[in-house]
């Protein structure tokens, strides 16, 4: 038995998103009150009841969310902010302490990932050992929220208001990582990886170790640029190129391959508008004239970083065996 499972984190997320839906539904001045509240309400429903509702129903609900977003029914509302002078006064009072909640998340996530899975009460586990890292991240986020409450002495309603303002500002793009990761899993289950493997094997001399590494890294980056999400690309390219060529054919270290492969994917993320939540939403929030300003600033860093990462993989993956 596990006392804390990932389901509890999903339930908490569902409650948080449900509060956003309710708050928007109560805002009579919201430009898309019905569409936005329905969008966030469905999103909350998937977290709260996704385990007990048939997958087909969830699929149709997701399609409704896509339709709402496509028709422009999910827009940002006019959420009141504290006066500038008040915000500057708070910032001056807190100074560097304001970063404490943000630092709590990575610190406790690492500590929790290493320790929570080892805590037992007889035959019962404190947390589900198969999802220790994700559960640790969820608990770390709760601790960060409590730390922020103590530091700012704000009312819980302030957290609800700011969360609604932020999620409403980001809008539909907030679900892109989740949907694209699911799409990657579908591609992997459909055998896209096998097709990619055959195509690469027929075109490139993959019997050369460096070519296998280059094909893997370039495939990771390009597929990420097309999909807009590194997790979607990981399952397909690792299954189609990484495992059969680098690991099985050349005896490479799968742990090093996977870790550096993710870095290659992130280089692709830096260069694509498909990663809307990273590269398109920030210019929108900052009201920049050039919507591709973030991508243009990132490309000069992404390309040399990708090359260095690919060379690192070549020199490490074949020299450190499991």
The pLDDT tens digits for 68-120 are: 988 888 888 776 666 777 667 777 777 778 888 889 999 999 898 888 888 88
Tell me the average pLDDT across 214-224: 90
What does the pLDDT look like over 234-244, one tens digit per residue? 878 888 888 88
Angle at 106 between CA 308 and CA 116, to 5 degrees: 115
Residue 278 maps to a domain: yes
Q: Which domain holds residue 128?
A: 84-153
Tell whether 66 and 88 lie within a shared domain: no
Select from 94, 126, 153 the last residue of a domain: 153
Evaluate whether 135 touches 116 at the Cβ level (below 8 Å).
yes
Tell whether 42 and 95 lie within a shared domain: no
**How many angstroms from the chain centroid is the CA of residue 249?**
32
Tell whether 225 and 311 lie within a shared domain: yes
Tell whether 138 and 251 lie within a shared domain: no
Tell me the average pLDDT across 244-269: 89
Evaluate whether 220 touches 261 at the Cβ level (below 8 Å).
yes
Of the candidates 229, 182, 246, 221, the one whose C-alpha atom is nearest the C-alpha of residue 309 is 221
Evaluate whether 264 touches 225 at the Cβ level (below 8 Å).
no
Tell whether 66 and 103 lie within a shared domain: no
Residue 184 maps to a domain: no
Residue 117 maps to a domain: yes
Residue 186 maps to a domain: no
Residue 59 maps to a domain: yes
- Strand-pairing partners, residue 2, are 125
Tell me the average pLDDT across 195-210: 83
Cα gap 87→85, rounded to integer Å: 5
Tell whether 246 and 305 lie within a shared domain: yes
Residue 236 maps to a domain: yes
Tell whether 101 and 148 lie within a shared domain: yes
Tell whether 102 and 63 lie within a shared domain: no
User: How many domains does one find in the chain?
Assistant: 3
- The Cβ of residue 269 has, within 10 Å, a number of other Cβ atoms equal to 21
Q: Is the pLDDT at 228 greater than 80, yes or no? A: no
pLDDT confidence of residue 82: 66
Tell whether 105 and 18 lie within a shared domain: no
Tell whether 223 and 313 lie within a shared domain: yes
Confidence of residue 322 (pLDDT cuts 50, 70, 90): low
DSSP H/E element including 3: strand 2-4
pLDDT confidence of residue 294: 87
Tell me the average pLDDT across 46-66: 91
Tell whether 122 and 44 lie within a shared domain: no
Evaluate whether 296 touches 280 at the Cβ level (below 8 Å).
no
Residue 20 maps to a domain: yes
Residue 207 maps to a domain: yes
Q: What is the chain's mean pLDDT, rounded?
A: 85
Q: Is the pLDDT at 147 greater than 70, yes or no? A: yes
Q: Is 121 helix (H, G, I), strand (E, B) or coil?
A: strand
Q: What is the DSSP letter of 244?
A: I
**How many angstroms from the chain centroid is the CA of residue 25?**
27
Confidence of residue 304 (pLDDT cuts 50, 70, 90): very high
| Residue 36 vs residue 193, higher pLDDT | 36
């Amino acid at each position: 038995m596990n006392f804390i499972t990932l389901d509890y984190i999903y339930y908490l997320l569902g409650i948080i998103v449900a509060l956003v839906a309710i708050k928007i539904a109560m805002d009579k001045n919201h430009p898309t009150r019905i569409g936005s509240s329905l969008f966030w309400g469905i999103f909350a429903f998937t977290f709260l009841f996704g385990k007990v509702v048939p997958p087909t129903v969830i699929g149709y609900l997701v399609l409704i969310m896509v339709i709402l977003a496509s028709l422009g029914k999910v827009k940002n509302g006019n959420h009141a902010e504290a006066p500038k002078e008040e915000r500057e006064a708070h910032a001056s009072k807190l100074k560097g302490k304001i970063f404490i909640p943000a630092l709590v998340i990575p610190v406790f996530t690492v500590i929790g990932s290493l320790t929570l899975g080892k805590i037992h009460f007889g035959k019962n586990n404190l947390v589900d050992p198969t999802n220790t890292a994700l559960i640790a991240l969820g608990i770390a986020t709760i601790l960060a929220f409590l730390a922020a409450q103590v530091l700012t002495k704000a009312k819980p309603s302030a957290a609800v208001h700011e969360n609604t303002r932020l999620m409403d500002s980001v809008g539909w793009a907030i679900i892109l990582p989740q949907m694209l990761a699911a799409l990657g899993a579908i591609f992997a289950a459909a055998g896209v990886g096998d097709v990619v493997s055959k195509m690469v094997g027929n075109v490139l001399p993959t019997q050369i170790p460096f070519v296998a590494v280059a094909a893997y890294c370039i495939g990771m980056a390009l597929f990420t640029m097309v999909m807009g999400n590194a997790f979607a690309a990981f399952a397909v390219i690792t299954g189609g190129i990484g495992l059969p060529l680098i690991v099985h054919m050349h005896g490479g270290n799968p742990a090093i391959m996977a870790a550096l492969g993710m870095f290659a994917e992130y280089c692709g993320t830096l260069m694509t508008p498909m990663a809307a939540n990273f590269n398109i939403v920030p210019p929108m929030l900052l009201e920049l004239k050039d919507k591709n300003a973030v991508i243009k600033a990132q490309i000069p860093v992404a390309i040399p970083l990708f090359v260095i990462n690919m060379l690192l993989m070549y020199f490490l993956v074949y020299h450190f065996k499991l």
